[in-house]
DNA sequence: CCGGATAAGTCAATATGACTGACATAATTA
DNA sequence: TAATTATGTCAGTCATATTGACTTATCCGG
């Protein structure tokens, strides 16, 4: 269960050190990848006078239409005061619409407008290109590993549940 | 006339859609993983009145002792004014030492003090635990895939070069 | 050896994204 | 009806980042 690698001639100390170094490299890889992964959308956002927070809102509302403000707060893990400035700008400038909830009329269900979809498309394009190219280059097996490790890093069980296998076997 | 319904082997259109969805999931996975990956150190940093920027500096100086200020700026991709506030605090509070460069005396080579090493250890412990557990759970093949994909996401060739294979064949 | 380039540091002003705390409103639910 | 919940808002603060201008010390090429 613990055998990461089968090495007959390494001592436990070396083994542990090598593993520790591998983990530290993983940490650093995450930093670099995230840094570059956000750089291109950030440049586009600047045109609109928006920041990374706006991207996150547009992304999640795009992927989960009719989500509530509370759900969005739970995903982003920020306060409603922080969200409100960003969300308010997006609503006032016509990127996001709010609909009264049908069952619970206190809820404001969030939706992208046409303009919002265009923005989402522009912002995600460089990220999709970057990640898509990395996927293609690394191959399907590597992508499976990438997903597995990232899922292991995510703390919250509910958040992990968002990620069903990419192609669930139908029937 | 693309028949959506009854198809054992997917058409190109479906194939493309599935791939696009897989890439979008990857983007989201990166967001969630990075969010959780930074949450625990952030709480520790708050005890010191520090922020994430201090963590990054302590991390890179710890991993690359005697690095110059310019190298650090290149890695972090921030302005020297931004770095200076953070670095200055760390130096003044005894977490980082600066040594004059031997060849080039304009350089201030950066080093962790004992206190700095302790801080680095505290900050990295939860990250190492989280990433280490994810590695262990996912297995060696998955880790290889994780590394491959993240390397593909990193834009800069010089940055990619930092990541030699975790166990280079000695001899 | 002089002058330009480079490494580092600094001052000032500004923007963004986050926080805490307090409070308001409307709607749901017990 | 009363408590709770979903959302929104006002006010103040902090950390991180920016641009732009400038200084000091040092290096290096002509």
pLDDT 10s digits, B12-49 = 677 888 888 899 999 999 999 999 999 999 999 999 99
Distances in Å between the alpha carbon of B88 and those of B17, B69, B94?
A: 50, 11, 10
Strand C protein footprint, C-beta under 7 A: A 45, 49-54, 77-79, 81-82, 85-86, 103-106; B 68-71, 73, 80-81, 84, 87-88, 98, 101, 104, 106-108
pLDDT at A27: 94
What is the C-alpha separation between B154 and A37, in angstroms, rounded?
8
Are A146 and B149 an interchain contact pair (Cβ–Cβ within 8 Å)?
A: yes
What is the C-alpha separation between B139 and A57, in angstroms, rounded?
34
pLDDT at B156: 86
What is the C-alpha separation between B95 and B57, in angstroms, rounded?
10
Closest listed residue to residue B57, CA positions, set A31, A96, A40 = A31
pLDDT at B56: 97
Closest listed residue to residue A123, CA positions, set A16, A37, A65 = A37
With a pLDDT cut of 70, the percent of chain A lying above it is: 89
pLDDT 10s digits, A87-123 = 999 999 999 999 999 999 999 999 999 999 999 999 9
Q: Which two tokens stand for residue A22?
A: 């591998």
3-class secondary-structure state, position A112: strand
Tokens 């001592």 — which residue? A11
- A108-112 and B96-100: which strand pairing? unpaired
Q: Which nucleotides in chain C lie closer than 7 A to a protein CB?
A: 6-13, 15-22, 26-29
**Range name among A36-50, B3-17, B87-101 with the lowest pLDDT average:** B3-17
pLDDT at B3: 43
pLDDT 10s digits, A120-159 = 999 999 999 999 999 999 999 999 999 999 999 998 888 9
What is the C-alpha separation between B50 and B35, in angstroms, rounded?
18
What is the C-alpha separation between A130 and B158, in angstroms, rounded?
17
CATH 1.10.10.10 matches A12-161: yes
How far, rounded to the nearest angstrom, does the alpha carbon of residue A52 sit from its chain's CA centroid?
12
Q: B40, A43 in Cβ contact below 8 A?
A: no
Mean pLDDT of B89-112: 96
pLDDT at A5: 42
Q: Residue B167: which of A18, A139, A159 has the nearest Cβ?
A: A18
What is the C-alpha separation between A110 and B28, in angstroms, rounded?
18
Q: A116, A54 in Cβ contact below 8 A?
A: no
What are the residue boundaries of the structural domains of chain B, listed by start?
A: 21-152
Please give the residue that has the higher pLDDT: either B79 or B8. B79
3-class secondary-structure state, position B144: helix
Are A59 and B20 an interchain contact pair (Cβ–Cβ within 8 Å)?
A: no
What is the C-alpha separation between B16 and B22, in angstroms, rounded?
10
Q: CA-nearest residue of chain B to A128?
A: B23
Q: Which two tokens stand for residue B42?
A: 């952030």
Mean pLDDT of A37-45: 93
pLDDT at B19: 86
pLDDT at B99: 96
What is the domain class of B21-152 according to CATH? Answer: mainly alpha
Q: What is the overall mean pLDDT for chain A? A: 89
Q: Residue A23: which of B20, B135, B152 has the nearest Cβ?
A: B135
pLDDT at B166: 53
What is the C-alpha separation between B34 and B44, in angstroms, rounded?
17
> Taking 80 as the threshold, does the pLDDT of residue B130 lie above it?
yes
Q: How many CB pairs under 8 A join A and B?
A: 208
- For every residue of B53-117, DSSP letters joined together read HHHHHHHHHHHSTTB-HHHHHHHHT--HHHHHHHHHHHHHTTSEEEEE-SS-TT-EEEEE-HHHH
**Range name among A15-19, A85-89, B114-118 with the lowest pLDDT average:** A15-19
């Amino acid at each position: 269960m613990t055998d990461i690698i089968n090495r007959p001639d390494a001592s436990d100390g070396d083994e542990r050190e090598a593993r520790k170094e591998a983990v530290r490299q993983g940490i650093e890889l995450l930093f670099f990848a995230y840094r570059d992964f956000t750089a291109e959308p950030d440049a586009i956002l600047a045109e609109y006078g928006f920041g990374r927070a706006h991207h996150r809102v547009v992304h999640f509302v795009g992927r989960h239409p009719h989500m509530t403000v509370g759900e969005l707060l739970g995903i982003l893990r920020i306060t409603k005061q922080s969200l409100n400035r960003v969300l308010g700008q997006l609503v006032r400038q016509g990127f996001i619409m709010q609909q009264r909830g049908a069952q619970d009329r206190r809820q404001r269900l969030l939706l992208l407008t046409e303009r919002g979809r265009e923005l989402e498309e522009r912002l995600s394009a460089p990220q999709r290109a970057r990640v898509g190219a990395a996927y293609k280059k690394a191959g399907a097996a590597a992508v499976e590993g990438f997903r597995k490790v990232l899922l292991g890093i995510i703390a919250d069980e509910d958040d992990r549940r968002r990620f069903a296998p990419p192609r669930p076997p139908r029937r």
